[in-house]
Amino acid sequence: MKNIRNFCIIAHIDHGKSTLADRLLDFTGSVTDREKKEQLLDSMDLERERGITIKSHAIQMDYTYKGEQYILNLIDTPGHVDFSYEVSRSIAACEGALLIVDAAQSIQAQTISNLYLALENDLEIIPVLNKVDLPSANPEEVTDDIVDLLGCDPSEVIPASAKTGIGIEEILTAIIERIPPPKGNPDESLQALVFDSVYNPFRGVETYFRVINGEIKKGQKIKFVATDSDYFADEVGTLKLTQHPKQSVKAGDVGYLITGIKDAREVKVGDTITDAANPTKNPIAGFEDVKPMVFAGIYPVDTDEFEELRASMEKLQLNDASLVFAPESSVALGFGFRCGFLGMLHMEIIQERLEREFNMTVITTVPNVSYHAYTRKNPDTALIVNNPTDLPDPSSIDRVEEPYIKATIITKSDFVGNVMSLCIEKRGVITNQTYLTTERVELNFDIPLAEIVFDFYDRLKTVSKGYASFDYTPIGMRTSKLVRVDILLNAQPVDALSALIHADNAVNIGKRMCEKLKELIPRQQFDIPIQAAIGAKVISRETTKALRKDVTAKCYGGDISRKRKLLEKQKKGKKRMRQVGNVEVPQEAFMAVLKLND
């Protein structure tokens, strides 16, 4: 055990984690020349297209240092704020972390929040200054920033370049010398932490775990503590680039387990695996539950595919434990699921993965957050409102509370004015402003979560020319003056387009929604009135005009009454059609409501 090192890589998005992982794999000879490719651990098509890490990947490397053989278990983590759940899981399975900072961009918001996560878990932090070979790099200045942040010695910061391979050997030396070996007793009963799982269509659920105490053997009867179910370990082994089956995986090591479980719900990430005959007395604690931030409905386009969609979501949930969903039904869209996501990017990725990996075509409704409503009858019990249609009748409501977050924005001092005006427009209140250096400012705001759900992140990047980084933590519920805006098409409410909006912005947003829908809803044989309403009061109206057949084309000259008769007949037909006509809402219309500022 003293020759095992478990570590993860944490950094802000785009600071070079995946490239550094490539260099470490090259240097330790874990990959052959034939297997080499850029961002080797980002195996998903989506990750390679967008150049981001979505899923944390575990891989084992062998390295000889001073004549001794060491086993290094690396867990690569995502850097985007929407995938911070993946980071928290990886950190729970490690003793140390490489904190990577870009020498050109310096410390960003996600660097700080991931660092705090690691410090809470008492990990040994090794600071790495990456991209020192860039012409725009400021190694001295950024080293000072890291020293201020960590309180470490400047000599402990390792300058490196993942692209050219500078400093890789120093990093490996630091991993072996500074990170403590895993603590654990190989003779105790088995106790292992599940930190990830994937679904393999041929072999069932593959569980990735880190053994804390004891050992797990092939063929052993094991038990999952949270679900209280027993299985046989059909295959155990370690994770190289491919899986390496072994007879047993001992304390301190990271490995995979195949038990032939077919049902996705039976493996819970953060669960403890133990021996069925001699179970451990204390399951592993301190593993956090995921807190979804954004809620949206996902419905199959064809209502017959509801069960297939459920199966696809369960398999996807294995791969991404931060997805939460529950069945719901909508008048307009039939049966579907109410899903909780960690943010807008997470929602987009889930939708893409359902389409690519499971061939499901789905409709996503307008995202919103979870509110608490209190009625006049019992003002002390909160009704949880995940869907605007669940809001009680406005006359019976005492108050509505919405979730607030504490937002931390780090930007260049030139853009402070733009960022402030954006946050104030989104009902934010500034609480603190700190100059980290003369160039860089940290701003703290209290802001309603609902305001940042839609386009906040994109607009923040626009007003700061891409130089602002953003991170947030929830700070609880506060009372707000909220109203429900309903959209009516042909006098029928479309529940999937309803939204809870602050009373001051309701009229403006309702008007813009109607204008946007007028452009997107295809014309029919009859006029379609598009209305926005608060309760019974209509606040805005647009009309999509009917397609008209020219019924008077055959009347060449002649009496006006002949034309009149034909037009009246057409008018009656249109009126009758309007009473029975249904309006199809295209998928673009649901998503366009989010981009009202474009």
- Is 122 labelled a binding residue? no
- Is 18 labelled a binding residue? yes
Provide the pLDDT for residue 55: 64
Q: Which CATH number applies to 484-594: 3.40.190.290, 2.40.10.480, 3.30.70.2570, 3.40.1390.10? A: 3.30.70.2570
pLDDT-above-90 percentage for the chain:
0
Distance (Å) of CA 355 to CA 46, 153, 205, 301: 12, 49, 21, 12
Residue 244 burial (CB count, 10 A): 12
**pTM confidence score:** 0.66
Task: Give the Cα separation of 523 and 518 in Å (integer).
Answer: 9
- Is 88 labelled a binding residue? no
- Is 290 labelled a binding residue? no
Provide the pLDDT for residue 36: 58
Residue 234 or residue 105, greater confidence: 234
Q: Where are the domains of the chain?
A: 4-178, 191-275, 294-365, 371-480, 484-594
Residue 207 or residue 41, greater confidence: 207
Angle in degrees, CA 339, 512, 532, rounded to 5: 75
pLDDT in tens, 250-283: 877 888 888 877 766 677 777 778 877 777 777 7
The answer to whether residue 450 scores a pLDDT higher than 60 is yes
- Is 102 labelled a binding residue? no
Task: Give the Cα separation of 172 and 158 in Å (integer).
Answer: 11
Provide the pLDDT for residue 32: 57
Phi-psi region of 577 (alpha: psi -120 to 50; beta: other; left: phi over 0): alpha
Total residues belonging to the chain: 598
pLDDT in tens, 114-154: 777 778 778 888 888 888 777 777 778 788 877 877 777 77
Residue 454 · residue 296 · CB < 8 Å? no
- Is 132 labelled a binding residue? yes
Q: Which CATH architecture has domain 294-365?
A: 2-Layer Sandwich (3.30)
CATH superfamily to which 4-178 belongs: P-loop containing nucleotide triphosphate hydrolases (3.40.50.300)
Poorest-pLDDT segment among 26-40, 456-470, 544-558: 26-40
pLDDT-above-70 percentage for the chain:
85
Tokens of 206: 């593959």
Phi-psi region of 567 (alpha: psi -120 to 50; beta: other; left: phi over 0): alpha
pLDDT averaged over the chain?
77
Residue 240 · residue 251 · CB < 8 Å? no
Residue 214 or residue 280, greater confidence: 214
The answer to whether residue 487 scores a pLDDT higher than 60 is yes
Task: Give the Cα separation of 123 and 380 in Å (integer).
Answer: 42
State how beta strands 204-213 and 124-130 pair.
Answer: unpaired
- Is 121 labelled a binding residue? no
Tokens of 551: 């019924």
Provide the pLDDT for residue 173: 84
- Is 185 labelled a binding residue? no
Provide the pLDDT for residue 109: 67
Poorest-pLDDT segment among 56-65, 374-383, 524-533: 56-65
What confidence category does residue 38 fall into, taking pLDDT thresholds of 50, 70 and 90? low
Residue 292 or residue 560, greater confidence: 560
What confidence category does residue 46 fall into, taking pLDDT thresholds of 50, 70 and 90? low
Task: Give the Cα separation of 497 and 588 in Å (integer).
Answer: 12
pLDDT in tens, 354-407: 888 888 888 887 777 778 888 888 778 888 787 777 777 777 888 888 888 888
Residue 38 or residue 207, greater confidence: 207
Q: Is 232 helix (H, G, I), strand (E, B) or coil?
A: strand
Distance (Å) of CA 113 to CA 80, 278, 321, 440: 11, 39, 20, 17
Indicate the DSSP class of residue 182.
Answer: P
The answer to whether residue 288 scores a pLDDT higher than 80 is no
Please tell me if the domain spanning 191-275 has the same topology as the one spanning 294-365.
Answer: no
Topology of domain 371-480, CATH: Alpha-Beta Plaits (3.30.70)
Task: Give the Cα separation of 96 and 479 in Å (integer).
Answer: 42
- Is 286 labelled a binding residue? no
pLDDT in tens, 62-120: 878 777 888 888 877 766 666 666 677 777 778 888 888 887 777 776 677 777 777 87
The answer to whether residue 287 scores a pLDDT higher than 60 is no
What confidence category does residue 435 fall into, taking pLDDT thresholds of 50, 70 and 90? confident
The answer to whether domain 191-275 has CATH 2.60.40.10 is no
- Is 142 labelled a binding residue? no
What confidence category does residue 300 fall into, taking pLDDT thresholds of 50, 70 and 90? confident
